[in-house]
Structure 1
Amino acid sequence: MKQSVRIAPPNSLFFLEDPSGGKSPEIDDRPVRIWSTRSCIIVACLCFVDGETEFDASTSAADVPSTPAAFDGILDTPSGIVEVSTSEREVLLRCDVGTHVTRVRVWTDHPTEPEHIHVSFG
């Protein structure tokens, strides 16, 4: 299932984690602005004062782009759900992944300030 939201999130960050929460990663100056721990992934986006970012999330293999992902990792999801939220904990999307450990791949159209982010769960 594919879900989308278009928003200029506070602090220009999206958080991906289980509804029970997670340990946020340290944010540093890496060239691709995606940070992760086993329980939380943070994806930077277009600066919120410059406009909105489109964020797509999907659990369907049919929605996986053919290009290499900017990020490919694992997220602990004990509830079987991934929430996409803002730094102020406003939940934007809820994706039922059905597993306790979920592969997460992220594609962006820019390494530091993307206007479009696509995430594949599973």
Structure 2
Amino acid sequence: MAFALKYFVVFLLLSMFTQGLCGCSFGDIQIGTVRTGREFSGQPEWRVTVINTCNGPQKDVTLSCRGFAPLHPVQPQLLLPQGNTCLLIQGKALPAGGSAQFTYAGEPYIFRPVGSTVGSRSNH
């Protein structure tokens, strides 16, 4: 009886842990954009903050980038254009509650999350 109870508790804990991670998706990526107050060649500078609101890490975070045309390219280690999408922080994991930031000068652009990987699961 104690043997069965022990395995039941282990199973319950594992299922709760994996349920929490599996409940994550790129929908748990929140993006905020604010004007910094600086200008370059007459264009406003914007600071974009990407936050993982999930309770687990997400990697390979991709954002919509179709039509994104900054005055100067964003540092590729922060935001790497790949066709109509951009890869955030070289695909590295964004921890639970963690954030990444980048700035650009140009017309305002509304970034949207379009994909991520949680654990071994891809969310595109």
TM-score (norm 1): 0.29
Higher helix share: 2
Q: From the CA coordinates, give the structure whose radius of gyration is larger.
A: 2
| TM norm structure 2 | 0.29
